[in-house]
Amino acid sequence: MDKEAIRQNLIKRLKSHNPADKEKLDKLLLDDITASEAYHTSQVLATYLAFSFEYDTQPLIERAVRDGKKVLVPRTCSQGKMVFASYHPEHLIKGRFGILEPDSSRETAEPSEIDLIHVPGLAFNAEGFRIGYGGGYYDRYLADFKGRTVSTVYAWQRLDFKEDAHDVAVMEVFSQ
């Protein structure tokens, strides 16, 4: 199966996921990520604002803020670029993909300022390579990123597929 077919199958499955089961798994995944060494040693966490059918990142954001971490979320830019800016709920606008993102008044962070990036994805293989939504934003950003990377997915999102030459593996993938 090619990446586009995998992508479409997983989006369909995610959208039909039982909400009560999803909530339980999201809590377990939150426990996994917040118990990790990568989380405990980070001061600056970059994460994403999720689609309703993805792992719910809002509890992670709230926990990181309570834990005294600086939280960053992505903003997409022209030419397939992405930057991370400070998370402030009052300064979020709908971005080009229908997801909330920081407005352009928010100061962006340099990659070297970020300790840990929580990376989204639809599927992950055993080596930590991912299938995302097809825009390549994270692969381009992570190509030169020197910090740690983690992801959270449901167990059925762990698949066997061949990565492409431009793909960048995530260091640690938590699944439930």
Give ∠ CA 63-69-70 in degrees, rounded to 5.
115
106 is in an annotated binding site: no
- The whole-number pLDDT of residue 9 equals 96
5 is in an annotated binding site: yes
132 is in an annotated binding site: yes
Asked whether residue 106 carries a pLDDT value surpassing 90, the answer given is no
130 is in an annotated binding site: yes
User: Architecture of domain 3-175 in CATH?
Assistant: 3-Layer(aba) Sandwich (3.40)
93 is in an annotated binding site: no
Domain ranges of the chain: 3-175
Band (pLDDT 50/70/90 cuts) for residue 105 is confident
* Distance (Å, whole) CA 152 – CA 167: 18
pLDDT in tens, 35-79: 999 999 999 999 999 999 999 999 999 999 999 999 999 999 888
37 is in an annotated binding site: no
- The whole-number pLDDT of residue 78 equals 82
Q: What is the separation, in whole angstroms, between the first and last Cα of the chain? A: 24
Asked whether residue 97 carries a pLDDT value surpassing 90, the answer given is no
